[in-house]
Structure 1
Amino acid sequence: MALSRIWSGFIIVAIVVACIKCFFFGQTDIFSWMVIGKADDPTNLTKVDGVIQTCLNAVNICIGLVGVMALFMGFMSIAEEAGGIRLLSRVIGPFFSKIFPDIPKGHPATGHMVMNFSANLLGLDNAATPFGIKAMESLQELNPNKDTASNAQIMFLCLHASGLTLIPVSIIAIRASLKSVNPTEIFIPCMIATFVATIAAMLIVSFKQKINIFQPVILGWVLGISALIAVMVLYLVNLSTAGLQSFSGLLSNGLLLFIFLSIVLGGLYKKIDIFDAFVEGAKGGFDTAIRIIPYLVGMLIAISLLRTSGTFDLVINGFKSVFSAMGADTRFIDGIPTALIKPLSGSGARGMMISTMETHGVDSFAGKLSAILQGSSDTTFYVIAVYFGAVNVKNSRYSVWAMLLADFVGICTAIGLCYLFFGHN
């Protein structure tokens, strides 16, 4: 119900804003922009595809997912038959049994979630989505009310959307291509901001679900992960840009190939029909990719209307006016558009980040902030549409506001870290 109201609100606000611009300010072509789009111009937030092209884009996204979904779900099927997922579930079980109390001990959903979180951590976006959808399908098996999100699904989705990432490689690459003096200097703020957002998501959902986070097991895992991230930061901070990118590629891609190898060897050891298991899993990946098309189309057209109507421009200008009137430092306002768009559109936020860097300078305060914001948040509404759509959940309960609240904590942390690291410039 919450998602339905938000979606309706997006469309109503966008059309009302467009009507005001048309009838009171003479922008008579705004309706055509919203339907058929406007010529691309990275310096203008409103120049994006209209709803017609957006529908085509949504279908193309899903078609593009078919191959990737088939690949990873095929290997997941082998791992399940070979018992690898159950083994992973037992390893992480003591911690997950505390924050996911409704999941039975050793259930495959635990292993699927671990695979998703690991892919996110390593920046493997193509792998994270299939693993995440598989996790949602496993959790749906335990869900007594199939059209309403369960507690476990909400906790998983909020942790996933907080986007804990080790190294934002793509952002570092963009900064390097724009001739940044030190392209890698934003990775520590990104890592810290995503970690804070992840902890915030866990705390918010735990409070709502009445989970005691002060249990020794939970504290031990959180402190252990914190220590591991600290050690990784100490190592990575001394690497050059080329060294950092090389290490990230070796770690992420090497680990992915190691997982494939381990799954195949495990299947051989268990003497299962590996290829048949792969094909059966791949069929499920195809079906899932097609099933999410209506949900993705619906969400993306609402986002498109908001952008082409100029609603984002109004919000950003309003921010600037308020903080200017308060006499506050307004340097962060120029980086805020990236944060506003990121929950709605990953590609749109990426374009806004590049636009901010080109307008204000890649090493400017606004340029660095936009990079940190791009690397420390996720496409919340896209995630909701795809993941809940994959399991036909219609009532998302409080998941939307919980994810947005965690995003807000991450954004505030990113802004504070940017001032801490780069505010003196």
Structure 2
Amino acid sequence: MHYLFIGFLLLGIAAAVIRALGGSPEALSGTMQAMFGAADLAVQVSIGLIGVLTLWTGLFRLAEKSGLAEWVARGVTPLLGRLMPGAVAAPVVNPPPPDADQEAGQTDPMAPVTMNLSANMLGLDNAATPLGLKAMESLQARNPTPDTATDSQIMFLVLNTSSVTLVPVTVLMYRAQQGAADPADIYLPMLMATTASTFIGVWFTARLQKIRLFDPVILAAAGIWLLLLFALGMLAWALPTEAAATLSSSIGNGILLAVVALFLILAHRAKLDAYSTFIDGAKEGFHLAVRLIPFLVAMLVAIAVLREGGVLDLLLNGIRVVAVWAGFDTRFVDALPVAMLKPLSGSGARAMMLEVMQTHGVDSLAGRMAAIMQGSTETTFYVLAVYFGSVGVVKLRYALLCGIVADMAGLLTAIFVTYLFFG
């Protein structure tokens, strides 16, 4: 994180100075304003997370105490245990801090990991983040070197940043708002892109960690996923536009409410004081949100300076020149701002997606490609800052490399499938 932090800042500052010397003195003031704005945004994000973290850490405490989390974890341990063997085998060596759950070190780490990945697949962002933080805390309890990322934490990061999503409600909603003739026509290409991101990211990380992927359990899980992908793709393709969007939204929200109801019912069956148990877990979410502020300030400020300095614009112009020289279709370059911003800033990529849609048309090749890119991966640097920052990990090892490989796989696949379906 040291080199990433100073590298982003110095590169952005250098680019702003060059622009100022080239006749754009406003570049310096714009970069300074971007720094202060990003610092404010980091605090706003953390404050905005307080309610969500408080709610979901409280609910997850009910799942822990009722035994549901452990039951779910046992069901997926055969798969995740092969992808993250250290999380299963390692003993608790680094218990959580006093203001956190004293029993977190004793909880099977696969429980919060499983629930986080399930929330991601269903597009439940508000639930995925607090569950992901809980999972990282549980993995950190088995980290013998607290300031350094373990293999299991890196694999968990890749699974999050590759962001396989079965129910991409948000992207479909934005396309509908922009007047797309068929908001759901990108559903299958988006699933293909996010699946490529996950498969390539896991494969690359497994190679570095010497994990054997040609295992019957892993191959069976991959096969089941591909069959489910095919079935959902055919369903989205067959349904009318409004029905497909409604189905996606209903699936996500319905499952979320069902999960909350299940937590409460099982807590009652286990004869827990659900209210007191929820409050105990909710306190942890409040403290966790506050601990995130300095980490978010550092990363968001660095990203803002890099963007405002003009580094991304310079890179895009270079790509366009190369594409013209090579004789390629250059329409994909119009969507690349989304690809450039997606690993850095989720809100920035979302704003750029809307700008591309408004400038080139929501049903243009660039407009569709921007939407597919938006749904193909997660914000790698945000996940790095939030997940690793929440447990004090500062030595990332090869985590950033694996996350970027997953991002590149998803974004390149997004370009390919957009041309395949709509080119």
- TM-score normalised to the size of structure 1? 0.93
Match of 2:345 in 1: 345
Match of 2:66 in 1: 82
* Residue number among 29, 34, 41 corresponding to 2:31 in the alignment: 34
- Give the deviation of 1:143 after TM superposition: 1.0
Match of 1:324 in 2: 324
* Structure 2: gaps of 5 or more residues: 90-105
Pairing 1:91–2:75 present: yes
Is the Cα contact below 8 Å between 2:88 and 2:109 reproduced in 1? no
Match of 1:132 in 2: 132
- TM-score normalised to the size of structure 2? 0.94
- Give the deviation of 1:103 after TM superposition: 2.4
- Give the deviation of 1:281 after TM superposition: 0.7
Partner Cα distance (1:239, 1:194) in 2: 22
- Give the deviation of 1:151 after TM superposition: 0.8
Partner Cα distance (1:124, 1:402) in 2: 24
* 1:323 maps to amino acid: A
Is the Cα contact below 8 Å between 1:89 and 1:107 reproduced in 2? no
Note the 1:101-120 alignment, pairs <5 A.
101-104=85-88, 108-120=108-120
Note the 1:234-273 alignment, pairs <5 A.
234-273=234-273
- Runs of at least 4 residues off by over 2 Å: 103-108
Is the Cα contact below 8 Å between 2:167 and 2:252 reproduced in 1? no
* Structure 1: gaps of 5 or more residues: 37-49
Deviations 1:304-354 (A, max 9, x none): 111211111111111101111111221111111100011111111111111
Partner Cα distance (1:199, 1:322) in 2: 29
Partner Cα distance (1:13, 1:278) in 2: 46
Is the Cα contact below 8 Å between 1:346 and 1:378 reproduced in 2? yes
Partner Cα distance (2:253, 2:327) in 1: 48
Partner Cα distance (1:321, 1:279) in 2: 58
* Residue number among 15, 38, 45 corresponding to 1:54 in the alignment: 38
Is the Cα contact below 8 Å between 2:184 and 2:245 reproduced in 1? no
Partner Cα distance (1:312, 1:158) in 2: 24
Partner Cα distance (2:317, 2:395) in 1: 34
Partner Cα distance (1:177, 1:258) in 2: 28
- Give the deviation of 1:107 after TM superposition: 5.4
Partner Cα distance (2:373, 2:142) in 1: 35
Partner Cα distance (1:241, 1:115) in 2: 30
* 2:32 maps to amino acid: V
Note the 1:125-274 alignment, pairs <5 A.
125-274=125-274
Match of 2:5 in 1: 7
* 1:80 maps to amino acid: E
Partner Cα distance (1:308, 1:234) in 2: 42
Partner Cα distance (1:269, 1:180) in 2: 47
Is the Cα contact below 8 Å between 1:147 and 1:392 reproduced in 2? yes
- Give the deviation of 1:249 after TM superposition: 2.1
Once structures 1 and 2 are overlaid, which stretch shifts more, 253-262 or 382-391?
A: 253-262
Deviations 1:83-134 (A, max 9, x none): 1111001111111121111123795211211111111111111111001000
Is the Cα contact below 8 Å between 1:54 and 1:297 reproduced in 2? yes
Partner Cα distance (1:245, 1:354) in 2: 18
Deviations 1:381-417 (A, max 9, x none): 0110000011111111100011001111111111110
Note the 1:302-313 alignment, pairs <5 A.
302-313=302-313
Is the Cα contact below 8 Å between 1:167 and 1:191 reproduced in 2? no
* Residue number among 56, 62, 75 corresponding to 1:72 in the alignment: 56
* 2:2 maps to amino acid: S
Match of 1:40 in 2: none
Deviations 1:241-287 (A, max 9, x none): 22122212221111111111111111111112221111111011011
Percent identical: 41
Once structures 1 and 2 are overlaid, which stretch shifts more, 276-285 or 247-256?
A: 247-256
* 1:21 maps to amino acid: R
Partner Cα distance (1:232, 1:377) in 2: 19
Where 1:108 maps in the other structure, the secondary structure is coil
Pairing 1:335–2:319 present: no
Match of 2:384 in 1: 384
Deviations 1:191-220 (A, max 9, x none): 111011111111011111101000111111
Is the Cα contact below 8 Å between 2:204 and 2:402 reproduced in 1? yes
- Give the deviation of 1:30 after TM superposition: 1.4
Is the Cα contact below 8 Å between 1:55 and 1:300 reproduced in 2? yes
